[in-house]
Structure formats: structure tokens, C-alpha cells
Structure 1
Amino acid sequence: MVSAEEQVVDVEGRRLVLRRLEKVLYPATGTTKAEVIGYVQAVAPALLAQLRGRPVTRKRWVDGVRGPTFFEKNVPRGVPEWVRTVEVDSPGSTKKRETVVYPLVEDLAGLVWLVNLAALELHVPQWQVTEDGAVLAPDRLVVDLDPGEGAGLAECAELAHLVRERMAEDGFTCHPVTSGSKGMQLYARLAGDQDGELVRQYAKRLAEELEARHPALVVSRMTKVLRGGKVLLDWSQNNTAKTTIAPYSPRGRENPCAAAPRTWDELDDPGSLRQLPFGEVAERYGALGDLLADLGADAAPGPPVPTP
């Protein structure tokens, strides 16, 4: 039986029971669950292109962003039967699990189902799985630019250009995404036929090389005492066990922002850079299309990473 707080909807032929659509998830702006669902509907084709084939780790805020939060990997109880799942080995799990059963989010109904659970952040690895659940080699590289105290998006933009120029020497095309939190990520498409450890080592060499060339701006180690006024070039996101916020995903911060693809022209004006709220990200997608079309699940492969 459906209660007074619930609403039965049809999403592209999938039946969903949505609960408490008027619930405020972002108290600072009064943004409700229904409005978050509206955002993911607006950007669904682009967001789904970033999620397709990738196990999704969710970060949930059941009582809104000022309440407690938790990461969820395994599919929760009551998962709809039409949600495809994949069982993946989980070596070194902090919960001593040998495997994790993840959801694969492949359609708008899946996105709405997750937002209904207050899963405001969707995190994915840089690799995909096959139809039978086999883990493929990474098909993209990501570097996370995380500003330390005294630094911000302007410094991230400066470093982004340095990363872009250096990776172009190796044949890569970089795509910038402001994270919706503090910094930004840069993505590059890979050949998709190399071991993840090779990709991680390449990203580490890149970080250390740029730190050596620009020590006043770049740090490659996470030690906080080293990061004041600098930007951490976090190469470790390419560890195959790690995940990164998916481009276009909402963020669970004080204000309702999203991980937003940007143009390089925007990074040429770092003084005007800021994290973008849902509405602007949706409007940009409607006007500019998907700025990350070259990174989607069906995009053409990129070059291999060079070996030492």
C-alpha cells in the first residue's frame, strides 16, 4: 500500500514509488528532493554516458546535507528487479568483504531511484565491466586538482593548463570539470588496453614532474603541511580500487552544486571561475550539449599511456 507521503510514478516504463518529494535536502537554499530529481532528469543523457558500464558507489544524505552521511557500495534492500547489478572482487575491503554487488545505472529510472534514496553523489571508477561482470582495463585517466588552504579555483586553473600542455605532448586531450566542491578534475580518454597500474604510475610521474617544475604551485603528496597555498595533483584516483565523483553528478555540500564540465576558454579567466549550481549546469547542457561527449562510454579510444 502506498502512504500519503508516497507517489507512484512511471519513468520511461519503470514503476517507482517516490517518497517525500517535498523533503528539503539542501536547507541553505530550500532545495527539495523533487528539484534534485528535476536536475538529474535535465542532464540524464550526459550523466548516464558517464555512469554506463561503471559500478556506482553512492554517498547518501537521508536527512539532507546537514545531517549524517554514509557511502554505500552494495545494492540496498528493495532494489528494483530491473536494476542490473554486478558482483566485483573487493580485495582489501575495510568491511572484510570478498566481493561487492554494485548497481549499474543505465537509464533515467535508475537515476530517479537513487535520488529517491537521497544518494546525492555518484562515484565511479575509471574502468567499466562487461555484460558478465568482468573488469576491463581503465578507459580514462583522471587527475584531481585539490587546492590547499590559501589556494582556490584560480590556482587549479593555472595547474590545469600545465597538465593539459604536458599531457598533450603524449597525445592526450584533457577535459576540465569543476568538482562542485573545492577544486576540479581533468579527464583524458585512454586506449583501454593497459593495466591499471601502468596508468597509475603514469599519473604519478606526471604529478612529480610538474611538482619539480613548479614547486610553488604543485604538490604531489597528500601531507597537509605541504599543501598551503598549493594545489595537490592527486594522481591516486587512478588506483583501480578508487572512485571519483562522476561528471554531472550532484554534490552533497551546503549549496546544491554539481560536477560541471567546463571549457578551456573559461579556465583562461580564472578570476570568474566558481562552482556551478544545478540550474546553471542544466542550462549549460541544454545550450552547449555534452562537453564530455569524447569521454562517454561509447566514445572512441584514446592513446596508450607511455611507459618509462
Structure 2
Amino acid sequence: MPADRLRVDVEGRPLELSNLDKVLYPAVGFTKGEVIDYYTRVSPVLLPHLRDRPVTRIRFPNGVDDKSFFEKNKPAATPDWVRVETLPAPGSTKGRDTLDYVVADDLPTLVWLANLAALELHTPQWRVGTHPDLMVVDLDPGPPAGLAECCPVAVLMRDRLALDGVEAYPKTSGKKGMQLCCPIAGTQSAEEVSAYARRIAQELEQAHPKLVLSRMAKNLRPGKIFIDWSQNNAAKTTVAPYSLRAERVPSVSTPLTWDEVEAGGRGRRPAVRPFTAAEVLDRVEEHGDLLAPLLDGGPELPGGS
């Protein structure tokens, strides 16, 4: 076997890891071996959020400073023990009716994907064979606004959703924005969920027009927080909690506490910011999975659009 390859057994599954010393985040020297180590260590809290969800990968075979590619279909030479589901492919850029999606239900699959330099893991709001069981509200700041400016909008959205009995749980996108994840009953279509999210976004824009935007026109975005309700479209995916992002440093889509978000909205320390892989592992040690309530289900959304 070549010196840059290592055979391992992961929960009874044989894997051949390669190029573990290859640097995937050049600015900080973070290697593929460290990517695999991170995903292995964070797997107890990550895997429940991936379970039964087809995973879209963004792969960076030569690191974050080089070319990347989206991958929805199973890659060549996928091991026969990897779970694959043939599912409709709404919005396929190649015009395909179905794709063979990988579902990362277990640690061997997660390690296999990390070894393919699948740095980013994105999932839909629905599980295989079901309606959406999550509503995701994406808060996208228009420069010069940033993550700090997302915080007061997140609180406004949380409080408005609470009037309808909907609980919201915040996480960073791992980049410049924030997402609110809301467990729902899984009895309504993606169109109904999107319509509800759009109505709430429009309400907040009307009440706070200098701060909030519900329309997609980019010329309106500078200095405002765009509430992207369209994230609930059946064809859309959202970066998974605890997924790495392809930034200068190995930042992570990180669950937050509401105390942190409220403090961020008041400009107090500690400021909400992108967290790195090492910091996230420390946070999991301290807090456990702050998004665990997403796994328990939620209410049906009020009707109307």
C-alpha cells in the first residue's frame, strides 16, 4: 500500500484513508486528517441531524483556496454499505428526474465523506419519504451589516414565531449569517411551510423597514437583514449543524444559545461570531447539542399565505 494511504476499521466497516497530511485550509495549515478527526469527534451530535436526510456535499479536493464542486449523486466507487436512496431531484441542473443520494446515517459514512474532502454537508428540511419536519429561516446580512446585526432580527423572529407556538433555535451559518431552525409537525408541504415563512418575514419587514427585508432584490439589501423564507423550498438545502465551511479558517455552522444572541443584539460580549472546529468541540463539551430539540418534532404551522 502507498505510504500516503492508511487502512482503518470504523465500526466494522473497512476504509482506506489517503493523503491525511494534505492541507485543506492553507491559511492555518488545517489538514485532511484534522478534518476527519473533527467529523469523527463531533459525530455524536452531528449524525442525528443528518439521519434520514439526503446529503449534498461540497468537495474541495485541493483545499479551500482551489476549485470545488457540488455533489448530490453518489460518487463513483461508493462502498456497498453506504446507504443510497433514489429520490426525485427537483431543480436538477442536469435535467434528471431522480438522483442516487447518499444518506449519512452512521460514522463510517461520515468518515468516508470526509476522506473525499467533502468539507461542507448540506441537507433539505425533509427526511426521506416525509414532508418537511423543519422550517429554516435564513438571516442574510447585506454589507455593511454582518452577524452582529442578525442578532436583533433573530430575536424579533423568535418572538413573533412564539406567538404561533413555534420554537426557534439559532445557529451561525459558519459564514456571515445566521439561521433559525424550527421543529414542525411534518404534516405540511414545502409550499405551505414557505408560504408561512414568507408571511412572517413580510410582517417583520413592515414593522421594521429600516432593519428587515423580505424581498429578494439585491439592490435593497445593503445594511439590512434579508429574511430568506425561500430556504424552505423542497429543492433547497441548508448547511447542516456542525458542518465545516470552506472559509479561510475551518469555521463551523454552530448552534448558539439565546443568551448569546440577545447579548450580541445589544453589542455586549461575548460577541456572536463564526466559531472554529476546535471551539465547537469545546462548546459541545460544555453545552451538549443545543439543537437536540429539533429532533423531537414540533407543531403544525398556522394556515394562510
TM-score interval for Structure 1 and Structure 2 normalised by the shorter chain: over 0.9
TM-score by length of 2: 0.96
In the alignment, the residues of structure 2 paired with residue 186 and residue 91 of structure 1 have an alpha-carbon distance, to the nearest angstrom, of 24
Task: Please tell me the residue identity of whatever aligns with 2:280.
Answer: V
What's the counterpart of residue 162 of structure 2?
168
Matched, 1:220 2:214: yes
Cα-to-partner distance string for 1:80-117 (whole Å, 9 max, x where unaligned) = 11101001112442101110110010111111101100
Cα-to-partner distance string for 1:275-307 (whole Å, 9 max, x where unaligned) = 0000010111012111111113xx2x2111101
The offset of 1:184, in angstroms, is 0.7
In the alignment, the residues of structure 2 paired with residue 255 and residue 208 of structure 1 have an alpha-carbon distance, to the nearest angstrom, of 35
The offset of 1:222, in angstroms, is 2.1
What's the counterpart of residue 295 of structure 1?
294
Counterpart of 2:165 in 1: which secondary structure?
Answer: coil
What's the counterpart of residue 132 of structure 1?
none
Counterpart of 1:121 in 2: which secondary structure?
Answer: strand
Counterpart of 2:7 in 1: which secondary structure?
Answer: strand
In the alignment, the residues of structure 2 paired with residue 16 and residue 77 of structure 1 have an alpha-carbon distance, to the nearest angstrom, of 15
What's the counterpart of residue 273 of structure 2?
274
The offset of 1:26, in angstroms, is 0.2
Of stretches 84-93 and 271-280 in structure 1, the one that deviates more from structure 2 is 84-93
Aligned pairs (5 A) from 1:178-197:
178-197=172-191
Match of 2:228 among 234, 237, 240: 234
Which segments of 5 or more consecutive residues in structure 2 lack a partner in the other structure? none
Cα-to-partner distance string for 1:211-267 (whole Å, 9 max, x where unaligned) = 111111111122211000001100011001110000111111111100000000001
What's the counterpart of residue 11 of structure 2?
12
Matched, 1:261 2:255: yes
Match of 1:155 among 126, 149, 154: 149
Task: Please tell me the residue identity of whatever aligns with 2:115.
Answer: N
What's the counterpart of residue 69 of structure 2?
70
Matched, 1:34 2:8: no
Matched, 1:247 2:256: no
What's the counterpart of residue 92 of structure 2?
93
Match of 2:302 among 293, 299, 306: 306
In the alignment, the residues of structure 2 paired with residue 209 and residue 87 of structure 1 have an alpha-carbon distance, to the nearest angstrom, of 39
The offset of 1:179, in angstroms, is 1.0
Task: Using the aligned pairs only, state the percent identity.
Answer: 55
Cα-to-partner distance string for 1:9-41 (whole Å, 9 max, x where unaligned) = 111111100010000000010000111111111
Counterpart of 1:260 in 2: which secondary structure?
Answer: coil
Runs of 4 or more, structure 1, over 3 Å off, are none
In the alignment, the residues of structure 2 paired with residue 258 and residue 80 of structure 1 have an alpha-carbon distance, to the nearest angstrom, of 27
In the alignment, the residues of structure 2 paired with residue 52 and residue 148 of structure 1 have an alpha-carbon distance, to the nearest angstrom, of 33
Of stretches 188-197 and 56-65 in structure 1, the one that deviates more from structure 2 is 188-197
In the alignment, the residues of structure 2 paired with residue 255 and residue 231 of structure 1 have an alpha-carbon distance, to the nearest angstrom, of 24
Considering only aligned residues, what root-mean-square deviation do their CA atoms show, in Å?
0.9
In the alignment, the residues of structure 2 paired with residue 91 and residue 168 of structure 1 have an alpha-carbon distance, to the nearest angstrom, of 32
Task: Please tell me the residue identity of whatever aligns with 2:63.
Answer: G
Counterpart of 2:203 in 1: which secondary structure?
Answer: helix
Aligned pairs (5 A) from 1:103-118:
103-118=102-117
TM-score by length of 1: 0.95
Alignment: residue pair count:
299
Which segments of 5 or more consecutive residues in structure 1 lack a partner in the other structure? 130-134
Task: Please tell me the residue identity of whatever aligns with 1:304.
Answer: E
Counterpart of 1:237 in 2: which secondary structure?
Answer: helix
